[in-house]
Chain A
Amino acid sequence: MSERFGLAGLAVRMTVRAPLKLFSMGFLLALVSFLLAGVVLVRSGVEEATARGAKRLGADLMVVPQGAEVPLGAGLFGGVPVRFSLPEGIDRRIAVMPGVLVAAPQYFLSSAPASCCETGNLLLVGFDPSRDVTVLPWLSPHVRLKMETGSILVGGSVMKGTGAALRFYNHPFTVAARLEKTGMGYFDNAVFIPLDGVSAMERSSGSAGGVSLRVPWGRPSILLVRLAPSIVPRDMASLLERRYPGIKVLTIPGLFRENRLRMEKLARGQLPLAAAAWLFAVLGGGALQFLYWRERRSSLGLLQAFGCGKGVLMLLFGAEAFVLSLAGMVAGSAGAFFVLRLFASYFAVTAGMPLLLGGLDLSLSGLPWLWLVFAGTMAVEAVIIMFLMLRREPADLLRGA
């Protein structure tokens, strides 16, 4: 037998033992919160990934074959294996141009699909460690690439730890380090192999009935160009495109321009979306609360009969609506976070946008104001409904009139 309980205990009992009310209110707010938090999290996640990705590329320009922008997007943002090649010798010609500090070639290859005992469907990036600006500068000082052991680096989403063995085209490799996650498929889902290793892998391929690999040496997939500080990247891009037909030169901000435009559009749509969600919550939450209390009006009459004043009841059930709504909002936001985290790679591939979510606490840190606005609205609504209900006399409420 319970010893004694006060008003708060009464409200808690009336809430937790009314699963329909608990579920419907919580679910409604969780749904609203899921949608809103989803938009906020996508926006911040894309911005974070874009900023980090742009920084990590470590270059001012990216040179790609003309017409390769679409597959490039799939490779960069989704980490999807793509293959294309620049014109012959372009890397050497650009490297010696005045104002160019480094021209780092990279070869995009794909792992052999469905071959026995190999990891399939990965983007393999062959890079030159002596000219690299993308991967090695970000490695921790204690990471050493030992070429004789076939060292490779794997992206943050590749589930292989340091020292793990991997085989590509019948050639064994050892994971030297796993890169930190960036939200960009190019970094997270790819395997970075020094050119020596690519060469060895090409030689090993085709043996024992395996798939042959042909590397278009001298025709890299992309060229990452770092310029002298005095050079304006856009001017150099125009110059290179004029001088070398068949190439497309992208400035790094230009590479993410489409993402930025989409994010700006999303940002503009955020306020109307929040307003629509608020209206939905007000109408839905109001209807739910009204129906519930209409059914329970005899309970209100009873509480009044036993001495609970109108103000106390309004405060009590306003607070109850606040807590329920707040719990629903937090749950919905956390749900959006976990769903996004689960499907971040899928999102990056299908939407062609990088996505990087921070920790749960960091990701949700911008949302409490949203939770408070919605929970506050529900509480005010509960108070208004309670006020309207309590205009009747307790005797009428007791009779259910």
Chain B
Amino acid sequence: MRVELQQIRKSYPLPGGDGTVAALDGVDLVIESGTLCILKGPSGSGKTTLLSVISGLSRPTSGSVLLDGTVVRNPLDRQRGMVAHGFQEAVFIPELTVVENLLLPALRCGDRLAVDRGERLLEAFGLGEMFDVPPAALSGGEKRRLNLARSLFLPPRLLLIDEPAAYLDDGWQVKAMEMIIREVRDARATLVMATHTPLPGDEGFRHILMHKGKVIDDGTSDY
């Protein structure tokens, strides 16, 4: 899936109502279909906001998001278009079990995906014994892995992942990256991944560096 951002601005009101702060400040970006892309930059540089704007979780103050050349307006449109988002926060519905939380992306798609895909994913992310436990019973690392597994549940055409390595130990960082890249390549999808730490296995990726809501560098060189 091709992603095109045109003059994206996103500002938030400051506490107390005294003006606004710009999280994204006129971002122009084109990511061609099938590109593996890493958003880098310090905390507060706008990486998470940019992913949220692409996925539709956040509406830009101005500018347009085009997916495959079409302007999309809400998250539902993006779901139908097979956009998956691995959130920065490992957020789950506490009343649902691990496997039910994993199945959430299929909720509105009416997709007849076999449950065995869910089972395979949970096994692959080391959560094979955790099918029917509530997410509260998982450790921080297990929650992150479930969050990643959920983002891969529907074969995506565009996968947006925010800080995939956070709370993962070194072994799982490598393993998770390998699985993400394999899934993306198998689906011939586009990957946009935000991180401010170097990831193992990200050589050859397109690297986009952000700072204060702007893209300040863009290339394939290693940062």
Partner-B contacts on A (CB < 8 A): 1-7, 10, 13-14, 17-18, 296, 298-299, 301-309, 393-396, 398-400
Is the beta-carbon distance between A306 and B105 smaller than 8 angstroms? yes
Is the beta-carbon distance between A307 and B79 smaller than 8 angstroms? yes
CB-CB under 8 A from A3, the residues of chain B are 115
CB-CB under 8 A from B52, the residues of chain A are 393, 395
Known: A302-B104, A306-B104, A398-B89. A13 touches B96 (CB 8 A): yes
Q: How far is the CA of A236 from the CA of B96 in the complex (A)?
A: 77
In the complex, which of the residues B55, B94, B115 contacts A305, with contact meaning CB atoms closer than 8 Å?
B55
CB-CB under 8 A from B92, the residues of chain A are 302
B131 at the interface (CB under 8 A from A): yes
Partner-A contacts on B (CB < 8 A): 49, 52, 55-59, 74-76, 79-80, 85, 87, 89, 91-97, 99-100, 103-109, 115, 118-119, 131-132
28 A-B pairs with C-beta separation under 8 A: A1-B99, A1-B119, A5-B103, A10-B96, A13-B96, A13-B100, A14-B93, A298-B91, A299-B91, A301-B91, A302-B91, A302-B92, A304-B75, A305-B75, A305-B87, A306-B104, A307-B75, A307-B76, A307-B108, A308-B108, A309-B76, A393-B59, A394-B56, A394-B57, A394-B58, A395-B57, A399-B89, A400-B89
Interface contacts (Cβ under 8 Å), in number, total 90
Closest B residue to A396 using CB positions: B58
Q: How far is the CA of A13 from the CA of B101 in the complex (A)?
A: 12
Smallest Cβ distance from A311 to chain B, in angstroms?
11
CB-CB under 8 A from B103, the residues of chain A are 2, 4-5
Closest B residue to A14 using CB positions: B95
Q: Which of A309, A396, A399, A400 has its CB near the most chain B CB atoms (within 10 A)?
A: A399
Is the beta-carbon distance between B57 and A305 smaller than 8 angstroms? yes
Q: How far is the CA of A246 from the CA of B160 in the complex (A)?
A: 98
Is the beta-carbon distance between A10 and B91 smaller than 8 angstroms? no
- Given A18-B95, A299-B94, 18 new contacts (CB under 8 A): A1-B99, A1-B132, A4-B115, A5-B103, A13-B95, A13-B100, A14-B93, A14-B96, A301-B91, A303-B107, A304-B75, A307-B107, A308-B76, A394-B58, A395-B58, A396-B58, A399-B89, A400-B89
CB-CB under 8 A from B118, the residues of chain A are 1
Q: Which of A7, A17, A305 has its CB near the most chain B CB atoms (within 10 A)?
A: A305
